[in-house]
């Protein structure tokens, strides 16, 4: 055989015109990828026919150029050399002048691009997920051959961000940069014109005559975000700043409109209610006296919203608590937008604004509480489209059924990524199903660590574990077989890549179909993914721990950190049965919590109430002053500093542990865990910032209710008592405030002093 090969090579040599003794080699002018090898061969019509190989005249090569063996096998270095075109030479060991050479180009691995999601885009900012192979940390995404911002996730995923100005088809590809640079294949996506929309914050406002309010218009769908401001009614409007007339005889209204410059038929409109200014009272004449009804309304709104406003205080006193709850339960959900460009900073800013402006405050407050029980975080869900499904489920199920909430959370791509529920596969070959989501489903979302009586106490005062590691493993087996939904235009895979536009899908081939047994429940063999999931959630939902466990978490978040055993049992009973035989009715649970005698006890006890965390404390302050955060504010970083990073809790346990106790006390006080001296000082700095300027577009407040009392210290203090504390201010605190504010050099400084110190006081920082 070898003789025949030599004969063929000789014939080839003669055919190509090679002279006797002239060497040849193959392949010629070839390419090799990093991570692979290239085999060279040589024709040597000499005797002896032994040879040696070299790379750029370095015999055997080296670590920088790559190596070549005595048999001609070239192995590239870890990184492509510069330049990346090498000379491979084979030389006779007997005759130094007998050699031949060729070129070899060393390239990086070819970046395969299989699909992009979404494949249908709109003009403006875009973010596209690339699925493929051989991506590297320095890979560059290309749009129509031009580089765009690239975020590397893994060898099979990168994300491209940029702006598209024109409609039609575009191509995406990935390039590995030099040295050894190579551009991969292209994938086509379509681009349609984005619709222009305008939103305005606030959606409505109430000001006294002579007062002002800043409106902010947000335009999406076009690079030109300019608007034209128009006013119908009394007052003036300059760049969104509405100023009411100096005086009005009776309450009247005006309409503020912002119209897109590029789409004249697209606009947003807000109504301003202008009220007459009360006449200045003489010194020593206090503002309208506080009443028991004001205290009841104020306490209720601190529990059921992100803080009372002048308007909601009036409404609750007029309607009563149950009628107000009925109205709030009936309000439509505030829609949560996906920010242009899929920017998480914009999502966090919108969320903070929404807490301060949404009309459906009860839904927002309950969703906020549920989100501290069933947690995800921007620490892992780094883009708005990833965290948006979770946010929508919190809002959707705030007044729904807890079992349905658990099911949709289990199927949510947000949870699929955050706790690795997506692509958890049946065990085999030394692997096992992922236990992250099953463990937190047990510990945090349903039954907790220890068995509970209906009043939240431990049976016989003993901490008896509710589950063990074997339980986690069984639940993990039951929840195998879920994968991300198939993105539009993509082909379904056994384990789909990340896609957040729909609930997760099942893959029966990845599901453990064996029998499972846990917590007294048995799942027979042969069930589908959905059957095992439904059976698992049904088993957990009907566990006796769930009513008291969830009751305690919601009571602590809404009303008080240390509810009595009787309070817990009353709410747990409602969770177990809403009066119509329905278990897990959150609407009934929320109503029961907020109307419970312990919640409606307006006389504070030493152990009642809860410390307000930074979001509730500061937003409640703004709302009390008829203020809010615009969606364009730039202050979310301050909440990072105060240990309550918006949409970004540090762990699955939330910003603070639900089991944290007040230092040197037996009382629970979860929020105290992030109330260190440093963080308390930072809150004070933020309140000072609120009071020290015009907001610069970051916030809006109105001190108009205090203007009549700038030279009347008792009246000023009583105004703060009514607005912030609903009449709870102690005589001792009033004296302290009067003494602190009296030396102020003008009325404005005295007002700021009283308001600032009231906001920082323990009476206001604690929701009683």
| Listed residue (325, 208, 292, 280) closest to 722, CA to CA | 292
In a domain, 414, yes or no: no
Please check the confidence at residue 282 and state whether its pLDDT lies above 60. no
- CA 647 to mean position of chain CA atoms: 5
Give the model's confidence band at 13: pLDDT under 50 very low, under 70 low, under 90 confident, else very high. Answer: very low
Same-domain check for residues 93 and 131: no
Same-domain check for residues 99 and 132: no
Tell me what pLDDT residue 278 has: 58
Q: At 171, which CATH number?
A: 2.60.40.10
Same-domain check for residues 669 and 755: yes
In a domain, 153, yes or no: yes
Same-domain check for residues 95 and 121: no
Number of domains into which the chain is organized: 4
Q: Which of 249-253, 567-571, 678-682 has the lowest mean pLDDT?
A: 249-253
Same-domain check for residues 120 and 166: yes
Same-domain check for residues 72 and 160: no
pLDDT digits (tens, 9 = 90+) for 74-95: 999 999 999 999 999 999 998 9
Give the model's confidence band at 287: pLDDT under 50 very low, under 70 low, under 90 confident, else very high. Answer: low
Tell me what pLDDT residue 9 has: 41
Q: How far apart are CA 614 and CA 633, in angstroms?
A: 17
Same-domain check for residues 96 and 124: no
Same-domain check for residues 328 and 305: yes
| Overall average pLDDT of the 406-414 stretch | 98
User: Hunting for tokens 């409106």 — which residue is that?
Assistant: 215
**Domain termination site, one of 192, 217, 238:** 192
| Overall average pLDDT of the 447-474 stretch | 96
Per DSSP, which regions of 186-250 are E strands? 187-192, 197-201, 204-208, 212-214, 216-220, 227-232, 236-238, 241-243
| Overall average pLDDT of the 155-174 stretch | 92
Q: Which of 283-292, 400-409, 584-593 has the lowest mean pLDDT?
A: 283-292
Same-domain check for residues 644 and 729: yes
715 class by beta-carbon count within 10 Å (0-12 exposed, 13-18 middle, 19+ buried): buried
In a domain, 430, yes or no: no
Q: How far apart are CA 66 and CA 476, in angstroms?
A: 47
Tokens standing for 169?
């088809």
In a domain, 158, yes or no: yes
CA distances to 191, 277, 545, 734 from 125, rounded to whole Å, are 11, 46, 48, 54
| Listed residue (352, 373, 481, 369) closest to 427, CA to CA | 481
Same-domain check for residues 122 and 85: no
User: Hunting for tokens 């035989």 — which residue is that?
Assistant: 581
**Domain termination site, one of 169, 192, 215:** 192
DSSP classification of residue 113: E
Q: Which of 283-287, 391-395, 558-562, 713-717 has the lowest mean pLDDT?
A: 283-287
Please check the confidence at residue 704 and state whether its pLDDT lies above 70. yes
Please check the confidence at residue 19 and state whether its pLDDT lies above 90. no
Please check the confidence at residue 12 and state whether its pLDDT lies above 60. no
Q: Where are the alpha helices (DSSP H) in 277-360?
A: 292-304, 310-319, 321-330, 344-357
Tokens standing for 45?
């019509």
| Overall average pLDDT of the 660-682 stretch | 93
In a domain, 169, yes or no: yes
Enter the pTM of the model: 0.67
In order, the DSSP letters of 594-634 are: HHSTTTT--S--TT--EEPPHHHHHHHHHHHTT-B--TT--
| Overall average pLDDT of the 422-450 stretch | 94
CB 68 within 8 A of CB 3: no
Same-domain check for residues 62 and 79: yes
Same-domain check for residues 308 and 187: no
Q: How far apart are CA 177 and CA 147, in angstroms?
A: 11
Tell me what pLDDT residue 15 has: 39
Output the average pLDDT for the chain.
Answer: 91
Tell me what pLDDT residue 209 has: 84
Greater pLDDT, 743 or 12: 743
Per DSSP, which regions of 370-515 are E strands? 482-483, 505-506
Query: What SS3 string covers 667-703?
Result: CECHHHHHCCHHHHHHHHHHHHHHHHCCCCCCCECCC
CA distances to 343, 407, 728 from 76, rounded to whole Å, are 40, 52, 78
Q: Which residue range forms the structural domain that includes residue 85?
A: 20-107
Please check the confidence at residue 234 and state whether its pLDDT lies above 80. yes
| Overall average pLDDT of the 131-139 stretch | 93
Give the model's confidence band at 2: pLDDT under 50 very low, under 70 low, under 90 confident, else very high. Answer: very low
Please check the confidence at residue 222 and state whether its pLDDT lies above 90. no
Please check the confidence at residue 204 and state whether its pLDDT lies above 70. yes
Handedness of CA 699, 705, 707, 709 (dihedral sign): negative
Main-chain dihedrals φ then ψ at residue 762, nearest 5 degrees:
-60, -30
**Domain termination site, one of 192, 225, 259:** 192
In a domain, 448, yes or no: no
Is the previous residue joined to 83 through a cis bond, with omega within 30 degrees of 0? Answer: yes
CB 353 within 8 A of CB 628: yes
Tokens standing for 528?
């589908």
Q: At 73, which CATH number?
A: 2.60.40.1080
| Overall average pLDDT of the 389-398 stretch | 97
In a domain, 404, yes or no: no
In a domain, 69, yes or no: yes
CB 539 within 8 A of CB 521: yes
Q: How far apart are CA 560 and CA 571, in angstroms?
A: 13
Q: How far apart are CA 38 and CA 424, in angstroms?
A: 39
Greater pLDDT, 98 or 692: 98
Name the most confidently modeled range: 113-122, 281-290, 582-591, 728-737: 582-591
Strands 521-523 and 516-518 come out as antiparallel
CB 523 within 8 A of CB 478: yes
């Amino acid at each position: 055989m070898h003789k025949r090969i030599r004969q063929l090579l000789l014939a080839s040599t003669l055919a190509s015109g090679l002279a006797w003794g002239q060497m040849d080699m193959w392949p010629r002018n070839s390419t090799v990828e990093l991570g692979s090898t290239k085999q060279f061969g040589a024709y040597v019509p000499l005797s002896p026919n032994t040879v040696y190989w070299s790379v750029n005249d370095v015999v055997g090569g080296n670590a920088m150029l790559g190596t070549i063996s005595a048999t001609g096998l070239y192995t590239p270095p870890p990184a492509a050399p510069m330049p990346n075109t090498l000379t491979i030479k084979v030389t006779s060991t007997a005759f130094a002048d007998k050699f031949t050479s060729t070129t070899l180009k060393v390239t990086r691995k070819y970046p395969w691009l299989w699909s992009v999601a979404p494949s249908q885009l709109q003009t403006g900012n875009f973010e596209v997920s690339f699925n493929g192979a051989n991506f590297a940390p320095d890979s560059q995404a290309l749009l129509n051959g031009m580089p765009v911002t690239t975020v590397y996730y893994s060898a099979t995923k990168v994300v491209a961000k940029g702006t598209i100005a024109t409609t039609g088809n575009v191509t995406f590809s990935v390039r590995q940069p030099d040295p050894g640079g190579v551009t991969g294949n292209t994938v086509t996506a379509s681009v349609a014109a984005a619709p222009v929309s305008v939103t305005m914050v606030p959606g409505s406002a109430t000001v006294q005559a002579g007062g002002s309010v800043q409106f902010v218009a947000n335009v999406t769908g076009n690079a030109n975000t300019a608007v034209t401001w128009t006013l119908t009614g009394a007052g003036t409007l300059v760049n969104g700043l509405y100023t009411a007339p100096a005086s009005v005889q009776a309450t009247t209204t005006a309409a503020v409109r912002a119209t897109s410059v590029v789409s004249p038929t697209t606009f947003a409109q807000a109504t301003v209610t202008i009220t007459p200014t009360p006449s200045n009272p003489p010194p020593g004449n206090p503002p309208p006296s506080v009443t028991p009804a004001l205290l009841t309304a104020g306490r209720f709104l601190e529990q059921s919203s992100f803080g009372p406003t002048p308007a909601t205080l009036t409404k609750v006193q007029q309607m009563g608590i149950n009628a107000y709850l009925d109205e709030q339960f009936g309000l439509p959900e505030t829609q949560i937008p996906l920010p242009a460009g899929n920017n998480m900073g914009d999502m966090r800013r919108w969320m903070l604004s929404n807490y301060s402006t949404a009309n459906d405050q009860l839904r927002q407050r309950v969703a906020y509480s549920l989100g501290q029980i069933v947690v995800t975080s921007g620490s892992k869900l780094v883009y708005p489209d990833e965290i948006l499904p979770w946010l929508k489920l919190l809002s959707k199920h705030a007044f729904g059924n807890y079992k349905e909430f658990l099911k949709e959370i289990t199927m949510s791509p947000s949870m699929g990524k955050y706790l690795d529920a997506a692509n958890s596969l049946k065990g085999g070959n030394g692997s096992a199903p992922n236990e992250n989501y099953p463990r937190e489903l047990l510990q945090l979302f349903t039954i907790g660590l220890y068995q509970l009586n209906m009043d939240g106490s431990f049976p016989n005062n003993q901490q008896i574990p509710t589950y063990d590691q074997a339980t986690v493993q069984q639940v993990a087996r039951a929840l195998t077989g879920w994968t991300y939904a198939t993105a539009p235009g993509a082909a379904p895979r056994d384990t789909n890549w990340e896609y957040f536009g729909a609930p997760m899908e099942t893959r029966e081939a990845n599901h453990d179909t064996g029998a499972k047994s846990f917590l007294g429940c048995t799942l027979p063999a042969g069930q589908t993914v959905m059957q095992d999931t439904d059976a698992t959630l049904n088993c957990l939902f009907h566990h006796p721990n769930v009513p008291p466990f969830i009751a305690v978490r919601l009571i602590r978040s809404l009303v008080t950190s240390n509810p009595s055993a009787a309070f817990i049992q009353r709410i747990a009973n409602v969770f177990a049965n809403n009066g119509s035989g329905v278990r897990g009715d959150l609407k009934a649970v929320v109503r029961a919590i907020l109307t419970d005698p312990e919640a409606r006890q307006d006389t504070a006890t030493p152990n009642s109430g809860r410390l307000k965390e930074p979001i509730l404390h500061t937003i409640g302050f703004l709302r009390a002053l008829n203020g809010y955060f615009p969606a364009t504010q730039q202050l979310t970083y301050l909440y990072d500093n105060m240990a309550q990073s918006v949409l970004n809790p540090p762990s699955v346990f939330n910003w603070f542990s639900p089991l944290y106790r007040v230092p040197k006390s037996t009382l629970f006080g979860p929020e105290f865990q992030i109330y260190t001296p440093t963080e308390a000082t930072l809150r004070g700095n933020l309140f000072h910032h609120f009071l020290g300027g015009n907001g610069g577009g970051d916030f809006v407040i109105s001190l108009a209710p205090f203007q009549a009392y700038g030279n009347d210290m008792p009246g000023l203090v009583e105004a703060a008592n009514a607005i912030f504390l609903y009449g709870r201010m102690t005589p001792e605190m009033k004296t302290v405030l009067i003494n602190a504010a009296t030396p102020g050099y003008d009325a404005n400084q005295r007002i700021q002093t009283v308001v600032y110190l009231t906001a920082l006081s323990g009476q206001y920082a604690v929701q009683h």
